[in-house]
Structure 1
């Protein structure tokens, strides 16, 4: 992949999302469409973004019983996504069925621990050992289930990469300046994540909310 940066286009207006992607398309490798975008714009919105000619990453984080997740995967075949996310916490059977139902050229990756959560948050929902240990456990399970890779923070990607040499690793929660965290808790810089083995770098607000999105995207690209 020549440019690992996927721009998170989670904007409420479709025209604004497309206009932003058009502006920065020369400095990104793809676009990430999450729940906010998909709930607002549905299949139509994905088709419109796909006209830009960039790979589309559907960050839907599917998590349900295996049959339901498999059916959901089949329903998005027509969108021809390059990447789709599911939750590793759904278990091995759910992950196996999701991968079996995915399109031939679609990478299925499992979310391990959201970058908005830290050790205290996990303890609050009964997960022992902290974010690092949980991410490694779920990464191992995703590999056993035959997935293409996982989603994790930059704090864990290096350790997971050592255990899963040919895995496909998506890293969100990235900030060029780690002093500005917003709602993220476990962040690193794009360059550090890439150095540790990230395949895809998901970047949203540092580009989309920048005074000059093109300059911001170009500056990030230059660090990689």
Structure 2
């Protein structure tokens, strides 16, 4: 595992300051997604940075190559450790995004298939089952030499085979006593790490808890305990 393997998602754009106060920037990275970014704009990046956190900027860039490239470059100066793009944007877009990500000292991470998508939806959208869709996306990631991928915990074994040296960011992480919410393919933190996840994205099990610091520590200890 890397030094900071837990990425905490700021889920509530109207109630996030408390999270930044109680979490330790030495133990986690903060995810800024599209909802909270659309509410607050770059102000949220400034706030997260002011509290000493590195940022996982998960807004999934997806447009023509030049637009994606210029958009990414506009975030130079922020402590964005990781940012996401949609692999479905194609090889030209991916390569442009990768160059721009390097220019702002960030890693470019490709989103294969959203974890909320089930088999029925995969057939509707991609005309094939989830494993085949993910495999195609991972092959594209490998061909373009992107820094890493976001994938469901249950795609980690496949990612390990096809993308051995790539970063693997895994959402759909829950404690064994948590509800699965809207992510159809979930797994516990320890299970995901054992299957090769580099980073774990965890939101509601921490952000919806009354004692957020305690909830974080419980997850942290579940990963590192012998």
TM-score class, shorter-chain normalisation, is over 0.9
Q: Which residue of 1 aligns with 2:121?
A: 121
Q: Which residue of 2 aligns with 1:95?
A: 94
Task: Name the SS of the counterpart of 1:180 in structure 2.
Answer: coil
Q: Which residue of 2 aligns with 1:11?
A: 12
Distance in 2 (CA, whole Å) between partners of 1:80 and 1:127 is 38
Say whether the 8 Å CA contact 2:25–2:52 is kept in structure 1: no
How does 1:196-211 map onto structure 2 within 5 Å?
196-211=195-210
How does 1:135-146 map onto structure 2 within 5 Å?
135-146=134-145
Which segments of structure 1 move beyond 6 Å, counting only runs of 4 or more?
A: none
Q: Which blocks of at least 5 consecutive residues in structure 2 are unaligned?
A: none
Report the TM-score, using the length of structure 2 for normalisation. Answer: 0.92
Distance in 1 (CA, whole Å) between partners of 2:185 and 2:177 is 10
How much does 1:178 deviate? 6.5
How much does 1:80 deviate? 3.4
Cα deviation 1:4-49 (Å, max 9, x = unaligned): 1110013222xx3132122122684210000011101111210111
Pair 1:143–1:126, CA change in 2 (3 A) = closer
Distance in 2 (CA, whole Å) between partners of 1:18 and 1:211 is 14
Distance in 1 (CA, whole Å) between partners of 2:26 and 2:115 is 24
Q: Which residue of 2 aligns with 1:195?
A: 194
Does 98-107 or 184-193 show the bigger shift?
98-107
- State the Cα RMSD in Å: 1.6
Task: Name the SS of the counterpart of 1:125 in structure 2.
Answer: helix
Cα deviation 1:75-94 (Å, max 9, x = unaligned): 11232310000000101110
Task: Name the SS of the counterpart of 2:134 in structure 1.
Answer: helix
How much does 1:127 deviate? 2.8
Task: Name the SS of the counterpart of 1:223 in structure 2.
Answer: helix
Task: Name the SS of the counterpart of 2:24 in structure 1.
Answer: helix
Number of aligned residue pairs: 221
Q: Which blocks of at least 5 consecutive residues in structure 1 are unaligned?
A: none
Cα deviation 1:58-98 (Å, max 9, x = unaligned): 00101111111111111112323100000001011100000
Task: Name the SS of the counterpart of 1:214 in structure 2.
Answer: helix
Say whether the 8 Å CA contact 1:178–1:188 is kept in structure 2: no
